[in-house]
Amino acid sequence: MYKKTVLPNRARVVTHEMKGRDSISLGIWLGVGGRYENKKNKGAAHFLEHILFKGSKNYSCSAIKELIEGVGGSLNAFTAEEYTCYYAKIPSKHLDRTFDILSDMVFSPLISKKDVDKERTVILEEIKMYHDLPQHFVIDLLEELMWTDHPLGMNIAGTLESVGAMTEEGLRGFHRAHYALENMVVAACGRLSHGHLVDLTRKKSTLVKEATKQNFLPAHDSQSKPKVKFFRKDIEQMHLALGLFGLKEDHKDRHAYALLNIILGANMSSRLFNEVREKRGLAYAIASAAKSLKDTGLFLIRAGVDNKKIVEAVDVILKVLQRIRRENVTKDEFTRARDYYQGQILLALEDTLDHMFWIGESTTSLDKTRTLKQILNELKKVTAADVRRVANDVLKETHANLAIVGPLKDEQEKRLSDLMGAG
């Protein structure tokens, strides 16, 4: 189903030919992100992602955008904790030029002082914007609570201080250190030839200077007691984020972990949605998410809650978590969650872009890509008892962390701390 080639310079190319498509989604992935930084250079990976669009050795800023968008394509990038991806979706006949543009951006960026000074202002405003959005800021507070003084506990965009001190020399040094061929994956899905993309990658990578792949600071995934963090802000709604340490991405129980998330809060049929919103009307929005990294994870519950009902809402959430630890889920609930999981994967893999993200992320993070058939076979072995076992492993009361942004009163803070066992 998937074809993979490792070049002599250790660059990896992974593809999936999707017959009947007229598009190709192409991504150049680098195994570097926010957790490869420190307090001083926090935000460098994200800053570099921005600056690579400002021009390269062979393409100006305007040419990068116009040559891809001018044929109906789309171009973008994102930075995560453990990788950065530059990608485009284009009509298949424009693969060669699109690859040349993306690869030139990635390996031959200009990184001029003028562009760095200008983009610094943009990123500083981005940081301020997210700080002013309580639904985003509460996640920052939670991650800082869970991974204090660690890169995972710092915003990917950086701080006003770290970004304010960023220079073109510093960004060039970060680029040299991390944008290495052995740290790169070229992933593509759609109407394509694997051999042709390998040839394109081989030719371009001969122009790239070699560098040694860098490591990141390991993260802890345990704590001795619950923790809380409150930020008082005069707004119309309380925003809460409850986080616990999740499973790492290649954990043997990864599918049971995903099913636990679906049952608890991944859709409108979930327990949290039904208990908190439908039955009690305590929140407009509530959801959970199961995030996995190389050595740790985050199981997250987030909600926007009526100011006067924040204590009741947290109490209900904690009781839902306690219940799934005590009792096996029902047969119908388990079946619905498993079918939803399968269906979501099937729907995502129909699209060339989502499919490229699938194989690119997996190859970058784990150096392997599981087929849909493999996943479905693994999923058949998961039981309701496995979900309960993982719930007991992940949803430990001592590992719970609660962050809230809103107009909290002293009495509410005390009651919330007592509920969490952090009083």
Active site residues per annotation: 49
**In which element (H, E) is residue 412 found?**
helix 410-420
Q: What phi and psi values does residue 156 have, to the nearest 5 degrees? A: -60, -35
Q: Tell the residue number behind the tokens 């998410």, with chain if given.
A: 289
The residue written with tokens 């908190």 in the block is 276
Report the amino acid identity of residue 419: L
In SS3 terms, 317-382 reads as HHHHHHHHHHCCCCHHHHHHHHHHHHHHHHHHCCCHHHHHHHHHHHHHHHCCCCCHHHHHHHHHCC
* Bridge pairing between strands 84-91 and 283-292: unpaired
CA distance 362 to 7: 18
Contact 288, 299 (CB under 8 A): yes
281 burial via Cβ count (<10 Å: 0-12, 13-18, 19+): exposed
DSSP string, 49-110: HHHGGGBBSS-BHHHHHHHHHTTT-EEEEEE-SS-EEEEEEEEGGGHHHHHHHHHHHHHSB-
Report the SS3 class of residue 165.
Answer: coil
Residue 328 vs residues 70, 174, 255: alpha-carbon distances, Å: 55, 48, 16
Measured CA to CA in angstroms, residue 196 lies from 13, 16, 96, 181 at distances of: 11, 13, 9, 19
Which string of DSSP letters, residue by residue, matches 6-46?
Answer: E-TT--EEEEEE-TT--EEEEEEEES--GGG--TTTTTHHH
Which residue(s) pair with 4 in the sheet? 14
What is the spatial distance between Cα 111 and Cα 57, in angstroms, rounded to a whole number?
Answer: 10
DSSP run (H or E) holding 292: strand 283-292
